[in-house]
Amino acid sequence: MAKSIEEQVEDWCKNQLENYFTKTESINSEIDKALKTAPSKKGGSGQNLPDIKCFVSVGFRNIPVMIECKGTKGDFAKTDENGLISNTNKKGETDYTAITKYAVNGAIHYAKSILDFTETYKETIAIGVNGYKQDNDLQLEIGVYYLSKDNLAIPKKVGDFSDLSFLKKKNLKEFFEKIDELKLTLEEIESRKLALEDEIETKLKRLNQTMHDDLSITVKSRVMLIVGLIMAGLGVEDVSEGLKVEELKGELGPKSNDAQKIINKVEDFLRMKNLPEEKREAIMHELSNVFKNEDLYKPKNGESKLRKVYVIVHKDILPYLTSDLPNIDFTGRLFNVLNDWVDVPDGAENDVVLTPRYVTELMAKLTEVNMNSYVWDYATGSAGFLISAMHLMIADAKNKIKSPEELRKTIAKIKAEKLLGIEKLPEIYILAVLNMILMGDGSSNIINGDSTQFDGKYKQGKMKDKEFPANVFLLNPPYSAPGKGLNFVEKALSKMKSGKAAVLIQENAGSTQGDGYTKKILNKNTLIASIHMSTDLFIGKSSVQTAIYVFDVGIPHDTEKLVKFIDFSNDGYARQNRKKSSQSVNLKDADNAKERYAELVNLVVRGKGKDDKNLNYYKDCYVEDYITSEGNDWTYSQHKKIDIKPTENDFKKIIKEYMAWQISNLIRNEDIYPWTNKSPEQSNCILSKKERDCIQMKNATFKAITIGSLFDIHPTKAYKATNKDLFKEKGKVPVVANSSVDNGIGGWTNLKATEKGNKVVFSDTTTSDSIFYQPNDFVGYPHVQGLYPYCNKWDENSLLYFITCFRKSASGLFNYGNKFTRKNALKMKVFLPEKNKEDIDFSFMETFISAQKKLIIQKLSCWLEQQKINNEIYIIEKEIPQDTLSMIAEKKHH
């Protein structure tokens, strides 16, 4: 292994710089503290020590620069499957191995630590430099990335550089102009949102697991506990510092115990947020009941449970909340993580389910939310609908208002006066308050109460007792309520004069289970659209079939007006429910989800367009039809148009499926040949004596051989492409995926094959059932391992023999928890025939498999011949007169 020249690379960098700070020098107290507070590059609590630090300044703009050096070929940067620098793995966890090993990844880690743990610095520069010797010449690789809070801390490559002269004072103006041109695309923003949600969810799950396994904190206490610790830790700028971990000393005094210190900080936080007195008192009452539990604040071995939890909250959660979060329903994620452990009362399992962000955004768009909207939600949960609406309203204001002062006032009014939510459950109500505070206040109109008793008026602040002029209603109600929750809809819409409404509800509320509310709703409102949602929308949370119903408010339904019915069951997302997996695992864009959601909004808001131009994905899933005034025919299935006349392709499909089943069943049948009543042994006459001896294993000897002595095993080559770009409907080249069916073929592509055929493969993420022989050239896939033989004697038959032995050896040993790694496979032994007590008997394997193929082919041949005879008899009976047939039969008898 080549010796690292890292010191030489460091010296080269320093010689390029006009001013710098070394690894152990202080750059300033705030940055020093941030680097010390942030998790170290190995994931522990040690110091972060960038190789070189400096500042670059133009005017009053001062940006810290973190430089990390490496000195070995291959240690420059690690990228994800899309070719982007990433310091998180596929599970959404921090990839400390990448941060430690690679120059660019390490530099980005240090730069991001400054954004997360300082107040002053909103932007940073990360520079990774790697060098190595080639033919005695110094080869250098330089990666320069810009990170800012405005860019959601996404590392943006600034350009390609061959040295560090761009950091010299005379070149800084041009360099600053370059970084100011770096704007995020909509795709990057969405990608960052998903990444943030994955990171947050992963850390919340880890925290929840600790509270459950190590601290035995009851499920009921956890929501209040974490919300209180977050409020205590945030503090209020220029007024009250957030709680420091070292302040929790495990004291037992009534005013000095850990619980009381936290409660004091929470009270400061709520007072400084100008919450109405009655709301602040209600929140403090709920939180105090939890924190004053002696088991939480009484120290054990000098440390209370509160302190142990707060150490994790302070390190893993608060950095996200002190950053500028995009439209992320943070506390909704918190609640869903904690709710995985909750035993919900009988009959309420479908009630306490919070709506995913991508659905709340969809529904806000369906109602055409804008800066002039007044939005309310009668079962607000963690305020996900209100947050999505608020972001659309603010975006619309920014697009339309050019005066900074007018824009500031408009945004303040949106947050303070144009959003109202009602939540009955105290622990969820507190989540909603926190969520809105995190999004920039807006909490003054979150009401803890019963929607059925709500009179439609503001309850706090300067607008108290005035009517809330709602013109947008968004709701995912508790489905155990009357009419599956339509009672809330009927009441809310009756208090609105005009506007739009979108309701996500159990679908049969719009047919047989509406309890009369549907008819009442139609008396004053128009049903615009009925959207049949995916059956697994709430997978793992709720098992009901849902629909979104969209209304024009204040206009009685005209039965002569067409309603849009859309089957949105294929929304492009693939979902699964793995409790410890991140969102990127449980929710995948498998089929153009973003485009499908955009098309749905377009269809509802604008219609199918001239010549159906707005119909692409849903051409066969879109119906316009009429409904009655009775309110019992709102569902898509009641209006779906079905062409009952079958086509030739319909017949072909059925016959192909049936015959494939027949042939498969025939091959699997080990007992008899149904048409001859002969056993397989009686049919061995088609085999030569050598083949018969072989399948009876006469005179054969075997030995156990280690797979690693026969094959090298390493990952197959895969394209860095999304499934959308990789798989094609009319592809010609097989893609071998992590599958245990269809010979491991996950789909087809038109890209060039990455692997040659005549190869054994298996997936290191599944079981032994994923071992297959690939006869043709193919494209590899992540986690698919290939077996590359050390000798060239292996052919189709010998490899089929081998994988039978390989599967037998691996059977039952591996699963999703115990991985089927190539390291394990290399050590495994297989039972193979031997020749002369030394070599593998390839001839035996060839003959054995060839004989087995002959027997199966004979089965198929006999079956096909029988089908031919039956078919000929059928044709004869149809075409020859019955009296002629009788005469033939009589002559045959004689």
**Residues 77-88: pLDDT tens digits?**
998 877 788 888
Cα 593-598-602 angle, rounded to 5 deg:
145
Task: Mention every residue, 6+ apart, whose C-beta is less than 8 A from residue 247.
Answer: 261
pLDDT digits (tens, 9 = 90+) for 672-701: 444 444 554 555 567 888 888 887 777 788
Confidence bin at 8 (pLDDT 50/70/90):
very high
Task: Mention every residue, 6+ apart, whose C-beta is less than 8 A from residue 480.
Answer: 347, 348, 350, 351
Compute the average pLDDT of residues 271-295: 83
> How many Å apart are CA 589 and CA 599, to the nearest integer?
15
Per-residue tokens: 146 = 């810009």
Per-residue tokens: 848 = 């054995």
pLDDT number for residue 890: 54
3-class DSSP state of 295:
helix
Q: Listing from the earlier edge strand, what are the strands of the sheet with 759-763? A: 711-715, 784-789, 759-763, 772-774
> How many Å apart are CA 400 and CA 419, to the nearest integer?
20
pLDDT number for residue 652: 61
Q: Is the pLDDT of residue 104 over 90?
A: yes
> How many Å apart are CA 383 and CA 391, to the nearest integer?
12
Per-residue tokens: 662 = 């027949």
pLDDT number for residue 817: 57
pLDDT number for residue 350: 43
pLDDT number for residue 341: 44
pLDDT number for residue 892: 45
Instruction: Evaluate whether 556 touches 522 at the Cβ level (below 8 Å).
Output: yes
Picking from 57-61, 340-344, 599-603, which range would have the lowest pLDDT averaged per residue? Answer: 340-344
Instruction: Evaluate whether 710 touches 827 at the Cβ level (below 8 Å).
Output: no
CA 567 to chain centroid, in Å, comes to 23
pLDDT number for residue 568: 94
pLDDT number for residue 601: 96
Written as one letter, the residue type at 791 is C
Q: Is the pLDDT of residue 754 over 50?
A: yes
Cα 803-807-810 angle, rounded to 5 deg:
135
E-state strands within 436-569 = 446-448, 472-475, 499-506, 526-532, 546-553, 563-567
Task: Mention every residue, 6+ apart, whose C-beta is less than 8 A from residue 697.
Answer: none
Picking from 14-18, 147-151, 161-165, 587-591, which range would have the lowest pLDDT averaged per residue? Answer: 587-591
Instruction: Evaluate whether 439 touches 325 at the Cβ level (below 8 Å).
Output: yes
DSSP-assigned beta bridge partners for residue 376: 420, 473
DSSP-assigned beta bridge partners for residue 475: 503
Q: Is the pLDDT of residue 873 over 70?
A: no
Confidence bin at 728 (pLDDT 50/70/90):
confident
For tokens 């039952």, what's the residue?
A: 812
Q: DSSP letters along 600-625, please?
A: HHHHHHH-S-GGGTT-STTTTSEEEE
Compute the average pLDDT of residues 802-819: 79
Per-residue tokens: 377 = 């939600």
pLDDT digits (tens, 9 = 90+) for 621-679: 999 999 999 999 999 988 987 665 665 665 666 666 666 666 776 666 654 444 444 55
Q: Which helix (DSSP H) or strand (DSSP E) does residue 52 occupy?
A: strand 52-58
pTM of structure: 0.58
Confidence bin at 351 (pLDDT 50/70/90):
very low
Confidence bin at 583 (pLDDT 50/70/90):
low
pLDDT number for residue 673: 45
Confidence bin at 521 (pLDDT 50/70/90):
very high
Compute the average pLDDT of residues 107-124: 91
Compute the average pLDDT of residues 144-168: 89
Compute the average pLDDT of residues 232-258: 85
> Distance of CA 673 to CAs 146, 667, 684, 685, Å?
72, 10, 12, 14
pLDDT number for residue 645: 60
Compute the average pLDDT of residues 113-126: 90
Instruction: Evaluate whether 112 touches 47 at the Cβ level (below 8 Å).
Output: no
pLDDT number for residue 199: 76
**Residue 295: CB atoms within 10 Å:** 14
pLDDT number for residue 346: 40
Summary mean pLDDT of the chain: 84
pLDDT number for residue 577: 65
Q: Is the pLDDT of residue 105 over 80?
A: yes
Compute the average pLDDT of residues 451-478: 90
Q: Is the pLDDT of residue 308 over 80?
A: yes
> Distance of CA 339 to CAs 87, 346, 541, 579, Å?
29, 15, 9, 11
pLDDT number for residue 17: 93
